[in-house]
Amino acid sequence: MSAFIERLRKRRLSMTFAALAAVSAIVLMASYAAHGVHGQSKQNDSADATPLKVPDTTVAPNNFVKIAKEVGPAVVNIDTRTLPKQARAGRRGMPGNPHGQMNPANPDDGDQGDGGDGQGPDQNFQDFFNRFFGGQAPGGPGGQGDQAQERDALGSGFIVDPKGYIVTNNHVVDGADEIYVKLSTDPDTTDPGRKARVIGVDKATDLAVIKIDTDKPLPTVKLGNSDNAAVGEWVIAIGSPFALSKTVTAGIISAKNRTIEPGASGQFQHFIQTDAAINPGNSGGPLVNMNGEVIGVNTAIFTQSSGYQGIGFAMPSNTVAQVYNDLISPSHKVVRGSIGISFREGLSSAVGRVYGFSHGVLVQEVRPGGPADKAGIKPRDIIVSIDGREVKNGDDLVADIAGRRPGTTVRLGYVRDGKQMTATVVVGDRDKIFADQLGENDQAPNDNGVSSEAKLGVAVREVSPQMADKMGTGGMLIVSVKPGSFAEQQGLAPGLAITRINKQPVATRSQFDSVVAGLHSGQDVVFEVMDPKHPEDGINVLGGTLP
């Protein structure tokens, strides 16, 4: 009996274990079915999901949208190409200049008259100051980069005349051998665009006018009055930052009449400051107000990263209009008035107290033979009025005189040794008065049938008497050198003075023309040149065989 009971107990235990195993298997299978192996979810079943639908609604366009559509078609993309200039190596070896940099005359260096202080831009500021043109240094495409490589760079511009006249920055096209323009309607291909030519440039304001040919009228911008622009008002910048064409950004006018380069370099550059995002490639593009009018040309940024940091500068449209009208004139040149003086800005109040003036301009230098010199103005005179109007400071004086045409007269009130005096001054041409310092050609070369530019690739003019005295000899100042020409291959550069060719003096135009006329292909040609800014370096001899 006891054996029977023991067998029954074991059977019940076996049945219990079997039942428990079955239950466990069922639970495990259910778990697998619910959660999948290793905790994964079951196969996705989205039958109960509702598809998304794009609503047929629109946002009412704001003024930014309207302005972008109106102005955008007249904004262009500018592509420039600078060809290799292997001959730059020929510049090396000037006496006293082991690095081969010849320091040619630069209109941004030294006193430029009617406000020049003889000092260059603040180098600390320059470290952070970057032109938009590809983020490169000032001075045109490539700055001081490798001249032995072909370089492409991008900028912006805008059409102001349906015949194809375009406003941009000088540093966008300066030094470029080829300039191409793409309209907003042109295909977005690798084709560089339409060939453009330079009509005129003005380095003092960093503005340029270029032109493309067209068989139909092109869209244009509306010009606004920058004098009426107010700090705090909305503005839009349009251009091609980082080659991203048709880019529109918005901000406000942060400040007006901002000068970012001290001394003579900034005499004619009084910018609109904005926080609209502008970056490399925006150069030459328009700054537009909420009326859809262009009130500035985006020109420069203040940055520590070569990119946007909230401070940009645009040349005011009122200045642009004045410069443009001069550049499209027959002379293709901006003519500014001058009375032939230099002065220093930012004098301390102590100077005013000692010299006895609270406003006006203390004359530092009078150009010999210039208008002020002829009228009896002397150093240490204090100019206090123009035609009876009080002169506030140097900027006020420069703006007034520069806007007057050469040949007109102006009545100056000035103080000398505490006495009030007046003088009538005939306004002169600034470029002619300061030609030796600006390094610009004040008149078209008269080659008497012999083109030195065609034969040698160089345009010249006689050095001024002051420059000749400094050099100790006469000569021909190089105004421009044609890229790839014989002159450039020998290392000639603007700002240098040619004193002899093949040992023959060329101190006058007639001497120069006579020598050049006698040169022929295959002849050895040797130039004796000097750097007028550093005559102590002496004569350098450069030469080669004329092709």
Catalytically active residues are 171, 206, 283
67 Cβ contact list (under 8 Å, min separation 6): 236, 288, 290, 292
With b for 16 or more beta-carbon neighbours within 10 A and e for fewer, the 68-77 pattern comes to bebbbbbbbb
Q: Are 115 and 398 in contact (CB under 8 A)?
A: yes
Q: Are 424 and 358 in contact (CB under 8 A)?
A: no
Q: Cα–Cα distance between 109 and 125 in angstroms, integer? A: 16
What is the H or E stretch that residue 364 is in?
Answer: strand 361-366
Backbone angles phi, psi at 380, to 5 degrees: 80, -5
Q: What single letter denotes the amino acid at residue 463? A: V
Q: Taking the CB of residue 244, how many other CB atoms lie within 10 A of it?
A: 12
For residue 285, which of 249, 323, 237, 328 has the smallest C-alpha distance?
Answer: 237
Q: Would you state the structure tokens that stand for residue 142, as one six-digit string?
A: 């490539």
DSSP, collapsed to helix, strand or coil, labels residue 2 as helix
Q: What single letter denotes the amino acid at residue 207? A: L
Q: Are 213 and 164 in contact (CB under 8 A)?
A: yes
**CA of 471: how far to CAs of 61, 441, 529, 542, in Å?**
66, 19, 11, 18
Q: Are 115 and 209 in contact (CB under 8 A)?
A: no
With b for 16 or more beta-carbon neighbours within 10 A and e for fewer, the 482-505 pattern comes to eeebbbbbbbbbbbbbbbbbeeee
Q: Would you state the structure tokens that stand for residue 348, as one six-digit string?
A: 């301390």
How many CA atoms does the CB half-sphere of 546 hold within 13 Å?
Answer: 19
What percent of the residues of the chain are helix, what percent strand, and what percent coil, each to the nearest 5? 25, 30, 45
| Secondary structure (H, E, C), 246-276 | CEEEEEEEEEEEECCCCHHHHCCCCEEEECC
Q: What single letter denotes the amino acid at residue 476? A: M
Work out the burial of residue 59: count CB atoms within 10 Å of its CB; fewer than 13 is exposed, 13-18 middle, 19 or more buried: exposed
Q: Are 532 and 471 in contact (CB under 8 A)?
A: yes
For residue 538, which of 90, 93, 106 has the smallest C-alpha distance?
Answer: 93
Backbone angles phi, psi at 162, to 5 degrees: -60, -15
Q: Are 425 and 339 in contact (CB under 8 A)?
A: yes
